[in-house]
Structure 1
Amino acid sequence: MLITRATDEAVAASAEMGLEEIIAAMGRYNESMMQAGVLVAGEGLADASQGAVVEFTGEEPVVSDGPYGETKELFNGFWILDVASQDDAVAWARRAPLGAGTKLEVRRVTGPEDFPQDNEWIQKEQGWREQLGTV
């Protein structure tokens, strides 16, 4: 999974680029991943001011409306890739059309094989994936 995070500098720079230019650059990037057969999913996220955080610090969860956190801590979007290795994911991350101040975190998404196969909940999850058609 490639997770985008931007600083205030990156947000300001993207505002200067213009929406059409950003959409075209992202479209070309997404298309290249689709043509390579590695793109599973990808979405941008709405501004943090439209979100909320549910924090589990006490007996009852506390809900905070956005904006929340520092800009550098906020995720802006993601891509899920199906690649053979972390090196391959990093290579795709390096091609992303992102400007100065943006970070792209590369993380492996765990799968059922990462957990004990005799666990009741892992077996149930496999059944749920089959029901949802995500296997």
Structure 2
Amino acid sequence: MRVMVMVKATKSSEAGEMPSEQLMTEMGKFNEELVNAGIMQAGDGLKPSSEGVRVHFSGTNRTVTDGPFIETKELVAGYWLWNVKSMDEAIEWVKRCPNPMLEDSDIDIRPLYEMEDFAEWDPSGKFSAHEQQLRDTIAMRGSVVNPYLFFGGRCEEALKFYKKTIGAQVGMVLRFSESPDQAPECMLQSGFENKIMHSDFRVGETLVLASDGCDDKSANFDGFRLALTIGSPEDATRCFNALADGGTIDMPIGPTFFSPCYGMLTDKFGVGWMVMVPGEEPAPE
């Protein structure tokens, strides 16, 4: 079951008094225990109501009132969202929590409604399906798509090349011989035991994943290109020429109708690149 655990506001929290270093340390340790136990899904502290607003609904009318709000005992100063087995488990965790305030304080635990609670009211499942669709949409907005390149035995050479040519920052490098789970004999080509099973490198804000694959036939970069966007024509040209060293220039770099500097190449590992400078944004009408 999911529960919201609400830390009620006090005079000190409404006054904006910050917690002590000791309390921050204790709360940090408590949150770490919640995370490690797989219970905590979200949690944050809230600023005083003096920095908030209240919207009152009356029919079609909406009235906005600036804080602060007088009834401190009705306000919330922070919250967690937990996934627990039962209310009893939630209570036991709250009892272990350090006092979150400088004075006496209260923490409320409230179960969240789940869609099964509305089963009798929603016999067709129409509203449940819509809510699930919204949850799926929210979940995917936090997802990331990263390119994963297989170099057929040349991954280490490629990492060094991209580090030199475009300033790639190499992160994790894990070889097949270092893997906790050894690959089946029939899967790994002979001589690949010390090849790179998994690695990553960062170019600007993009994380690229890379591997040697399980054999020398795994390198196949048909059907896509990596688009490298750089701020100036000078830097774009420098990176273009560096990446093209030992490879093939598919379209010389130069001005186009959509970019002041754009070119396409295939590097010596067979990876296709588009190197470009962003074009000017169209003027608003």
Structure 1 length-normalised TM: 0.84
Name 1:33's counterpart in structure 2: 34
Cα deviation, residue 21, structure 1: 2.2
Which residue of structure 2 aligns with residue 124 of structure 1? 130
In structure 1, give the amino acid aligned to 2:115: P
SS of aligned partner of 1:102: coil
Which runs of 4 or more aligned residues in structure 1 lie more than 6 Å from their structure 2 counterparts after TM superposition? none
Contact 1:6 1:101 in 2 (8 A): no
C-alpha distance in structure 2 between counterparts of 1:124 and 1:62, whole Å: 30
Q: Distance in 1 between matches of 2:77 and 2:7?
A: 5
Alignment of 1:11-22 (within 5 A): 11=13, 15=17, 18=20, 20-22=21-23
Worse-superposed segment, 57-66 or 80-89:
57-66
RMSD over aligned Cα atoms = 2.3
Say whether the 8 Å CA contact 1:3–1:104 is kept in structure 2.
yes
Q: Following the alignment from structure 1 to structure 2, what is the Cα–Cα distance between the partners of residues 15 and 54?
A: 26
Displacement after TM superposition at 1:24 (Å): 1.1
Q: What is the distance in 2 between the residues matched to 1:30 and 1:103?
A: 18
Identify the residue that residue 79 of structure 2 maps to in structure 1: 78
> Contact 2:13/2:48 (CA < 8 Å) preserved in 1?
no
Structure 1, gaps ≥5 residues long: none
By how many angstroms is 1:17 displaced?
A: 5.5
Aligned length: 131
State the alpha-carbon separation in 2 of the partners of residues 24 and 89 from structure 1.
22
SS in 2 for 1:122: helix
State which structure, 1 or 2, has the greater radius of gyration over its C-alpha atoms. 2
- In the TM superposition, 1:1-20 aligns within 5 A as 1-8=4-11, 11=13, 15=17, 18=20, 20=21
Is the 2:6–2:109 Cα contact (8 Å) retained in structure 1? yes
Report which of the two has the higher share of strand. 2
Which residue number in structure 2 is paired with residue 93 of structure 1? 94
Tell me, yes or no, if the aligned pair for 1:6 and 1:75 is still in contact at 8 Å. Answer: yes
Give the C-alpha shift of residue 101 in structure 1: 2.3
Q: Distance in 1 between matches of 2:98 and 2:74?
A: 20
User: Residue 22 and residue 92 in structure 1: after superposition, are their counterparts in 2 closer, same or farther (change >3 A)?
Assistant: same
Deviations 1:61-95 (A, max 9, x none): 11111111311111001111111000000111111
Q: Quote the sequence identity (%).
A: 34
Give, in whole Å, the separation in 2 of the partners of 1:16 and 1:114: 39
Deviation at 1:112, TM superposition (A): 1.4
